[in-house]
Structure 1
Amino acid sequence: MKYDPARRALMQAMMAATVTAGLPAFAYAAEAASTDAGAPQYGGVLTGIINPEPPNLNIAIQQVANSQMVGGKIFESLLTYSFDLKPLPSLAQSWDVSDDQLAYTFHLRPNAQWHDGKPFTSDDVIFSYKKVLANTPRTRTLMGYVKDITAPDAHTVVFTLKERYSAFLYAFDIGGGVILPKHLYDVDTPIAQNPNNNAPIGTGPFKFKRWERGSFIELVRNEHYWKTGRPYLDGIIYRVIPDSASRRLALEQRTVQQAWLQDIEPFDIPRVSKLPHLNAVQKGYEYWSTLHWIELNGSRKPMDDKRFRQAVMYAIDRDFIAKRIMFGLGTVATGPIHHNTRFYDGNVKKYPFDPKKAIALLDEMGLKPDANGVRVKLGFIPIPYGEMMRRVAEYIKQCLGKVGIAIEIENVDVGGWTTRMGNWDFDMAYNGVFQYGDPAIGVSRTYVSSNIKKGLPFTNTSQYRNPKVDELFDQAATATTDAERQKLYTEVQRILVEDVPVAWIDDTNYITFLDKRVHNAITTGLGAIDSYADAWMEPAK
């Protein structure tokens, strides 16, 4: 049978959440109007901001947001996803599902080729999943359900499952399912040292041209792209602009046409949103639904004690962070599932700002303050994504200091941050994690004990272990109905919120700023990370 499931639409919830969070209510209308500008035109180079600079561009081994944004124009995956999270064709032009839902057959694009002219085939898909993606943080979970991957011919791939996996078709986005060229990666060189990581060859609408470290990354039009007549743009340039004031000025003066995530300081957003040449687009984050939290290394004391983790939750005024530091770009998180993600349940134990409760828990643990009021000293690694994250870290330090938890902020770049997180080389660390449309894909990986794997970031790096949580996540992933899955995910949320394996801070509600000359850029639930094959620009006046 053809796979065309009816998925629950999330757009109304997304709109309500972002508007009530204080973001510009006109954004949807502005973006809709911007696409009604006549026939698409060829030509033009879109210039976007990139900050911080990505460690490399191989999304299979580096899944930070900025690697995905650039790499998403060069590489492709089998599927992409609509705003209401329905799977859409990409390198797979169609797919079939067996009646028992244990076999998924993907029919590949017969005219797709790699940027070096080599044909794209089913061998590339099998290699990517078996030899590369099976060892990555997200796809390890998927591959645990896969019995085998076979290729009846050069343009057909069959995934045979060991058991039903309800979230299967959510797992094929560019972040978790990037397809690499076998002829360049099936070599003796370790994948992390492959020279193509920084000069990638993909199948996407744009080809890598050059990377001037600290300055810019340049992509050019792929004239042999499989989608007829695409892309429209001649190229894309991502400028590295570390300073927030310079980023805002570049957007105001139209020397760049795109900014996203934390590129624009939250306190500048109301003013920037009113600039007549910009659209503030709230669509395109449905699949990601980023959730920020504090990682607590459970292999170290006192983080191994649930009372300490609960004390951290009570000690931090998360509402202040959402309203006064993020200026409405976030809402207070209630637990492990973002409020825009399927199977969210907010009816869980709450952790209001209550330093007295935090102090009582620390006293109960025997963590008594010294003469300076310090109970414990810990290191804290903030996520290196702009000034807003730095301010969040400073505020967390202030809050925890008031209950006797002395924090030393350790500054690292993106590469250092991911390495230390993956190697469990931290006491506490700030993290931002995508939800990927379904808890079986983006949530369970953080909490199941089978995903405790040293050396891999974005896994269970807090090293939390709870057999009941493992069981519930497994049952939810294989349940046959959404009602059954909701019941299981509700239970797992209640257990996790009691155990606090990580200290949840906020659910984000981001904006992408696009110059009104730019059209059809944000066309899927992957937003600015998707391919931009249909994006086009009006000439400058």
Structure 2
Amino acid sequence: MFSKETLTVTRRTALLGATALLTLPRIGLAQAAPVDGGRLILIARPEPATLGLGLNLQAPTIYVGGKIFESLLTYSSDLAPMPSLATSWSISEDGLTYRFELRQNATWHDGTPFTSADVVFTADDMMRSSHPRWKLLAETYVERIEADGDFAVVFTLKEPFSAFIYAFELSSLPIMAKHVYEGTDYRTNPANNAPIGTGPFKFVSWNRGQSIELERYEDYWDETPAHLDQVTFLVIPDAASRETAFEQQIVDVLRPGDVEGFVARRLSEADDVIMTTMGEEFYAPHAFIQMNLRKPPFNNLKIRQAVMHAVDREFISNNIWFGMASPATGPVSSRTAFYEPDVTPYPFDIEKARGLVADSGLSGDDLKVTLTPLPYGQQWDRTAEYIAQQLTQAGLDVSIRGVDVSGWAQALSTWEFDLALNYTYQYAHPALGVARHYLSSNIIQGTPAANNEGYSDPEVDRLFAEAANSVDTEETQRLYSEAQKRLVDDVALGWIFEMRSPTIYRDTTNEVVTSAIGVMDTMKATWKAA
């Protein structure tokens, strides 16, 4: 875990060097002994469509669900695996067998004992049908999943898959209760709105449009339950109101995106406020324009190239996101393994964009497109407005289609879009967070987190498959580099920026970020000074 001292030092250093993005806050109060009790006030933004983690991979569901559910592992800031529902694990020398020893004193929030049967049901049944990332991984690499008694599970792979150890983060494989979900329609199960997990906090109530209430689970498997008595998520749609709620100390923590970049800078300057960019090492969020490649105009390469030249990614990063982003160059984040910088550049050049549109041979209705923004706040709205303006200048006829979170997810999931804004979590390894957006086998309906644009290239499929199987680092890099170059040449997506996301909180709130998944984690160690 990171102590308060670590975080205050990190405020000085975390953004220097490669990023240097944020105004640095002042040093907070010294670390004291943890205090039990109290209520932590957070913000659910936007309000989740469901609390069925694993059925919905949008950030608000992960944020709330991460306090209720757990997976087998979590990960440190240097991406080392750490115990969660698994106490230990081993990997065979040939890389084909992963064995997890499970906690023997964990229970579900309704009192039912947690066992290996829950893990097998989750991994081999429920998530195969409902979780696009796990479905792809399991169907491609997993030969079988077996219980060895009540408290051990063995995953046997068809072939080596070096990224497999990263597949057990809580949103990647949230362990679900077999006795709650087996034999039901997973997507309509009432537990999706009143979840039953094994985490340190249990669900109490959901007052739609207002708040979600959790309370400490007294029978939690750890030696001591969570420090906090309660965790409340307030639904505050308006950015100015979220800012005010934090300033008036109604809200304790602002997660990345709760307030705009310039507001985050200002708030961080207060003597009693701590800001850190730690806690996104596992996710490395990566924003892009998704273009539907199934129909004109985006089935035309020249139009896709025009999009890349028409959008000034430096302007977006520095002016719309206030320096809390850096331009993306391709599908892999520069902060993760196997990034390839030597790809075809697309410098901002509106005249070149206009020429490409003219050279495409398209005109009239074929150039009329609708842009679906990501409904996650004003910065995303302004990003959409800027992109629409730029593409209109390049010769496209762009209109913006405003939708709520459910409408956005529906549009992408059913492929009923022309252009859409999206961002992806990279999940520590390209095989987990990147390949899913480009593999032909992942052109599936029902989720906004798959290959929704419809990109298909057998050579890219081959490169991703061989890279995932490779056990030689240099060969893995070569394969991923070739895949990145090919994807950038094809403009499979319109990559915009790598997000640099701060978490902000009062210095009376402690142990807010304790892992590589930050505030998305359980927050079982979080406490508030009396």
TM over 0.5, shorter chain: yes
Q: Distance in 1 between matches of 2:91 and 2:23?
A: 41
Q: 2:375 aligned to 376, 384, 388, which one?
A: 384
Q: Rate the CA distance shift 1:122–1:496 in 2: closer, same or farther, 3 A.
A: same
2:320 match: 325
Q: Distance in 1 between matches of 2:136 and 2:82?
A: 22
1:158 match: 154
2:356 match: 361
Q: Distance in 2 between matches of 1:121 and 1:483?
A: 40
Q: Distance in 2 between matches of 1:205 and 1:510?
A: 25
1:470 match: 461
CA RMSD after TM alignment: 1.6
Q: Distance in 2 between matches of 1:18 and 1:524?
A: 22
Q: 2:257 aligned to 258, 262, 266, which one?
A: 262
Residues 329, 510 of structure 1: 8 Å contact kept: yes
1:300 match: 295
Q: Rate the CA distance shift 1:375–1:161 in 2: closer, same or farther, 3 A.
A: closer
Aligned-pair distance for 1:19? 7.0
Amino acid at match of 1:439: P
2:226 match: 231
Does 2:209 align with 1:214? yes
User: Helix, strand or coil: the match of 1:276?
Assistant: coil
**Matching of residues 314-353 of structure 1 within 5 Å:** 314-353=309-348
Amino acid at match of 1:119: P
**Matching of residues 432-443 of structure 1 within 5 Å:** 432-443=423-434
Q: 2:174 aligned to 172, 178, 184, which one?
A: 178
Residues 161, 468 of structure 2: 8 Å contact kept: yes
Amino acid at match of 1:226: W
**Matching of residues 448-463 of structure 1 within 5 Å:** 448-463=439-454
User: Helix, strand or coil: the match of 2:370?
Assistant: strand
Q: 2:243 aligned to 248, 260, 264, which one?
A: 248
2:3 match: none
Amino acid at match of 2:506: D
Aligned-pair distance for 1:514? 1.1
Query: Normalization by structure 2: what TM-score?
Result: 0.95
**Matching of residues 488-503 of structure 1 within 5 Å:** 488-503=479-494
Q: Distance in 2 between matches of 1:417 and 1:485?
A: 35
**Matching of residues 405-444 of structure 1 within 5 Å:** 405-444=396-435
Aligned-pair distance for 1:115? 0.3
User: Helix, strand or coil: the match of 1:23?
Assistant: coil
**Matching of residues 25-44 of structure 1 within 5 Å:** 25-26=24-25, 30=27, 36-44=30-38
1:195 match: 190
Residues 19, 25 of structure 1: 8 Å contact kept: no
**Matching of residues 72-221 of structure 1 within 5 Å:** 72-135=66-129, 136-143=131-138, 144-187=140-183, 189-221=184-216
User: Helix, strand or coil: the match of 1:73?
Assistant: coil
Aligned-pair distance for 1:375? 7.0
Aligned-pair distance for 1:446? 0.3
Residues 296, 367 of structure 2: 8 Å contact kept: no
Q: Distance in 2 between matches of 1:300 and 1:15?
A: 44
Aligned-pair distance for 1:24? 2.6
2:6 match: none
- Per mean C-alpha deviation after superposition, the further-off stretch among 225-234 and 359-368 is 359-368
User: Helix, strand or coil: the match of 1:138?
Assistant: helix
Aligned length: 518
Q: Distance in 2 between matches of 1:251 and 1:436?
A: 30
1:531 match: 522
1:109-157 deviation per Cα after TM superposition (whole angstroms, max 9, x unaligned): 0000000000000000011111121131211222020000001100000
Residues 202, 217 of structure 2: 8 Å contact kept: yes
2:474 match: 483
Amino acid at match of 1:132: M
1:357-402 deviation per Cα after TM superposition (whole angstroms, max 9, x unaligned): 111211111124x6xxx97110111101011100000000110110
Residues 281, 517 of structure 2: 8 Å contact kept: yes
Structure 2: gaps spanning 5 or more residues: 1-9
Residues 382, 429 of structure 1: 8 Å contact kept: yes
User: Helix, strand or coil: the match of 1:402?
Assistant: helix
Amino acid at match of 1:168: F
2:393 match: 402
Q: Distance in 2 between matches of 1:296 and 1:22?
A: 29
Q: Rate the CA distance shift 1:18–1:527 in 2: closer, same or farther, 3 A.
A: farther
Q: 2:55 aligned to 51, 61, 65, which one?
A: 61
User: Helix, strand or coil: the match of 2:171?
Assistant: helix
Amino acid at match of 2:284: S
Aligned-pair distance for 1:20? 3.6
Q: Rate the CA distance shift 1:328–1:18 in 2: closer, same or farther, 3 A.
A: farther
Q: Distance in 1 between matches of 2:233 and 2:18?
A: 29
1:321-345 deviation per Cα after TM superposition (whole angstroms, max 9, x unaligned): 0000000111000000111111111
1:39-59 deviation per Cα after TM superposition (whole angstroms, max 9, x unaligned): 111001000112100101111
User: Helix, strand or coil: the match of 1:105?
Assistant: strand
1:134-190 deviation per Cα after TM superposition (whole angstroms, max 9, x unaligned): 131211222020000001100000000000001000111011110000000002x31
Does 2:524 align with 1:504? no
Q: Distance in 2 between matches of 1:318 and 1:21?
A: 17
1:45 match: 39
Residues 104, 151 of structure 2: 8 Å contact kept: yes
Amino acid at match of 1:492: A
1:17-68 deviation per Cα after TM superposition (whole angstroms, max 9, x unaligned): 68744213458xx4xx65x422111001000112100101111111101100
Residues 297, 366 of structure 2: 8 Å contact kept: no
1:23 match: 22
**Matching of residues 266-305 of structure 1 within 5 Å:** 266-305=261-300
User: Helix, strand or coil: the match of 1:384?
Assistant: coil
1:258-303 deviation per Cα after TM superposition (whole angstroms, max 9, x unaligned): 1112111112122111122211111001111111101101111111
User: Helix, strand or coil: the match of 1:130?
Assistant: helix
Residues 252, 275 of structure 1: 8 Å contact kept: no
Query: Normalization by structure 1: what TM-score?
Result: 0.93
Residues 328, 496 of structure 2: 8 Å contact kept: yes
Residues 265, 388 of structure 1: 8 Å contact kept: yes
